[in-house]
């Protein structure tokens, strides 16, 4: 089992190595996707390999000369990787405007470093039936562009097969998540993150095979003994959380039993329907997506004085379902959508009497000692609840 976990970790440590190998040994086109929520299945159905671009752990040396230093790490680190040639293996780019920072980044990228295929698309911020016609046209525009670029007709059958493959992946990830809810600590939060993130970096068929083997072994593994405080971790809507911080939290008397990271629960909570019209299925997936800080909920703004945050309520429900005692919010510095929502989130957590701690990181965990003291104090609070 350790061998499989090591492979998932390695894929995250050398995030683009496997994709570059695929390109070198086959004619597969590699399309880089910027987080978050890109419909990878459509790229897969065109016979190409979607690879999520997370940037890298290296110090940002070139990116800061081109991007504002108050842009989020995801954007700055990714731009740094681009300038250092780490994305040279890509045949194209596809991304959704999830926030202004991504949009700005893409505009600079397209002007300064054009690639053969550069597809940007809108995803409505206000998710309701009034935006469905527009979103359909955006999805159809993506399908046509990919068909033209790859020379492959994207049929309904191919799309449904790709959706089934990705649903299989999400189903296994949910099983894994349920295992840690039932047996806290059976899989560490950092391994969970590596497992989900690596699925976005290598061919999904390979990842499903490995994940299936891991699940079979975990189902036979004895549950860890010893009592830890059950907690939920949320944050990092686009990037991987710092695994050193996750390990430190779990080494200090707490077990993360569920999360809402992009490289976690947010990625696998829902399936895309594999029956009927695939474009309808994607529209349904996005319009009825789990609440997100990058969506616009009119009620949040038109009722002053009222704590209203569908995202906070989603997290509170996760706390209840997971029988957790508290929430760790891992915030990526300069993520505007998350910062703005956090004001409403903490109001709702306080109204519900749920203890929380907010830890802010930026391109690496920084000195862990200061965080450790706060984490230990938080665990003590939970112990006496």
Which residues contribute to the site for ligand SF4 (CB under 6 A)?
72, 74-75, 98-99, 101-102, 237-238, 294, 332, 335-338
DSSP state of 74: H
For 121, phi then psi, to 5°, come to -140, 155
Least Å from the CB of residue 74 to ligand SF4? 4
**CA-closest candidate to residue 30, choices 7, 53, 58:** 53
CB of 78 to ligand SF4, least distance (A): 9
Do strands 356-361 and 254-260 pair parallel, antiparallel, or not at all (unpaired)? unpaired
Closest CB to ligand SF4 among 50 and 337?
337
SS3 256: strand
Which C-beta is closer to ligand SF4: that of 68 or that of 377?
A: 68
Q: How many residues does the chain have?
A: 385
**In Å, how far from its chain's centre is CA 35?**
7
CA distance 315 to 293: 12
Q: Which is nearer to ligand SF4, 68 or 385 (CB)?
A: 68
Look up residue 313 and give its two tokens.
């309520």
What does DSSP assign to residue 43? H
Beta carbons of 32 and 92 less than 8 angstroms apart? yes
Query: Smallest distance from the beta carbon of 312 to ligand SF4, in angstroms?
Result: 17
3-state secondary structure of 276: coil
CB of 336 to ligand SF4, least distance (A): 5
Which one, 311 or 338, has the nearer CB to ligand SF4?
338
Nearer to ligand SF4, 72 or 173 (CB): 72
Q: What six digits make up the tokens of 235? A: 């944050």
What's the token pair of residue 64? 């800061």
Task: Please report how close the Cβ of residue 101 comes to ligand SF4 at its closest, in angstroms.
Answer: 4
State the nearest-atom distance from the C-beta of 319 to ligand SF4, in Å: 23
Residue among 89, 78, 85, 70 nearest 35 (CA): 78
Choose between 211 and 238: whose C-beta lies nearer to ligand SF4. 238
Q: Indicate the residue among 78 and 162 with the shorter CB distance to ligand SF4.
A: 78
Nearest to 235 by CA among 178, 189, 203, 304: 189
The nearest distance, CB 121 to ligand SF4, in angstroms, is 15
């Amino acid at each position: 089992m350790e061998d499989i976990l090591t492979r998932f970790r390695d894929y995250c440590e050398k995030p683009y190595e496997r994709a570059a190998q695929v390109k070198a040994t086959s004619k597969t086109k590699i399309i880089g996707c910027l987080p978050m929520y890109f419909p990878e299945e459509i790229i897969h159905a065109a016979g190409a390999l979607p690879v999520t671009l997370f940037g890298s752990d290296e110090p940002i040396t070139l990116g800061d000369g081109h991007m504002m230093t108050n842009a989020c790490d995801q954007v700055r680190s990714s731009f740094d990787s681009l300038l250092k040639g780490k994305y040279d293996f890509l045949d194209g780019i596809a991304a959704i405007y999830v926030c202004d920072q991504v949009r700005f980044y893409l505009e600079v990228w397209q002007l300064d470093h054009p690639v053969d295929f550069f597809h940007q698309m809108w995803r409505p911020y206000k998710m309701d039936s009034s935006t469905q016609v527009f979103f359909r046209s955006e999805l159809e525009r993506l399908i046509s562009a990919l068909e033209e670029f790859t020379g492959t007709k994207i049929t309904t059958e191919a799309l449904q097969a790709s959706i089934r493959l990705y649903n299989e992946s999400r189903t296994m990830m949910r099983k894994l998540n349920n295992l840690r809810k039932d047996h806290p600590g059976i899989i560490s939060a950092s391994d969970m993150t590596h497992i989900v993130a690596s699925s976005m970096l290598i061919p999904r068929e390979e990842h499903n095979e490995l994940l299936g083997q891991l699940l079979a072994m975990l189902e036979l593994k004895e549950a860890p003994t010893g009592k830890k405080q059950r907690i939920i971790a949320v944050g990092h809507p686009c990037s991987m959380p710092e695994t050193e911080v996750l390990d430190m939290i779990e080494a200090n008397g707490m077990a993360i039993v569920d999360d809402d990271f992009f490289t976690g629960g947010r990625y696998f909570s829902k399936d895309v329907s594999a029956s009927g019209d695939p474009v309808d299925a994607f529209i349904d997936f996005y319009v009825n997506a789990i609440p997100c800080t990058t969506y616009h909920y009119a009620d949040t703004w038109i009722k002053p004085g009222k704590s209203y945050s569908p995202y906070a309520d989603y997290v509170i429900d996760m706390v209840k379902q997971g029988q957790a005692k508290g929430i760790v919010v891992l915030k990526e510095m300069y993520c505007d959508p998350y910062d703005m929502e956090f004001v409403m989130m903490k109001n709702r957590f306080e109204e519900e009497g749920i203890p929380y701690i907010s830890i802010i990181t930026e391109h690496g965990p920084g000195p862990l000692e200061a965080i450790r003291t706060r984490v230990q104090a938080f665990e003590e609070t939970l112990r006496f609840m």
